[in-house]
Amino acid sequence: MKIKYIATLFSSVLVAIVLTGCGQSSASSDKNRPLTVTLSGEPATADPAQTTDVNSSTIVSQTMQGLYTLSSSGKVVSSVAKQVVKPTDGGKRYVFNLRKTKWSNGQEVTAKDFVAGFQRAVNPKTKSQRLANYKFIKNFKAVSTGKAPVSKFGVKALSKYRFEIQLPAPVPYFNYLLTDYYPINQSAAKKFGSSYGTSSDKLVTNGPYKLIG
């Protein structure tokens, strides 16, 4: 199956160029040319909280950006986070300063979107297929089993562009896990509910490409 994406303004490298031309410049049309990608099978979803198959994961990796990502050599590098940070409190506290980026609907990506993404993934009502990915974060078991509200999960928006994660114990490879955690556009998630990510018109993304078909 062929999936088409269009480049959007969320690449940290291209953002200034695209924003400058957004609206009337001919430069923007060059950035919006479709890229056709061939997948080996039908993707199940484009919802980051539900992706388990390779095809769905491919879509998410192209259309979403988390705090960190992996370079071509497999090294952890910053993405929405301004830099790869060193944890404090004995390796149990991570605080990230976020770049100013936008969603495909034009809204700003904020720390609250990361909080919402993490909380949604561990909320029992979501029935996330990626629940175990979050098991190292504070209060995971209590929240994921419904014994504690999602507000008790170990994530917090310290300010508009400052995001905190707390762990009950240090995890040496946590930086690699951070490449696979994503924010969620709160208005879209609320609007589409359980059907979020099931089609391109029920999806809002913050990555370098936007799903259009």
Which domain CATH number covers 30?
3.90.76.10
Question: Could you tell me the pTM of the whole model?
Answer: 0.82
- Give me the residue label for tokens 């879209």: 188
Q: Which residue, among 191, 57, 63, 188, has the nearest Cα to 133 in the 3D structure?
A: 57
Q: Two tokens at 159? A: 């300010």
Sign (positive/negative) of CA torsion 176, 65, 53, 39? negative
Cα gap 20→206, rounded to integer Å: 18
159-177 burial by CB neighbour count: b if 16+ within 10 A, else e?
A: eebebbbbbeeebeebbeb
- 8 Å CB contact between 109 and 80: yes
Cα gap 10→84, rounded to integer Å: 19
Encoded amino acid at 120, one letter: R
Task: Note down the domain range covering 187.
Answer: 2-211
pLDDT digits (tens, 9 = 90+) for 82-141: 999 999 999 999 999 999 999 999 999 999 999 999 999 999 999 998 899 999 999 999
Number of domains present in the structure of the chain: 1
pLDDT of residue 49 exceeding 60, the answer is yes
pLDDT digits (tens, 9 = 90+) for 12-24: 322 221 222 223 3
User: β-strand 2-7 against 209-211: which pairing, if any?
Assistant: antiparallel
Confidence of residue 36 (pLDDT cuts 50, 70, 90): low
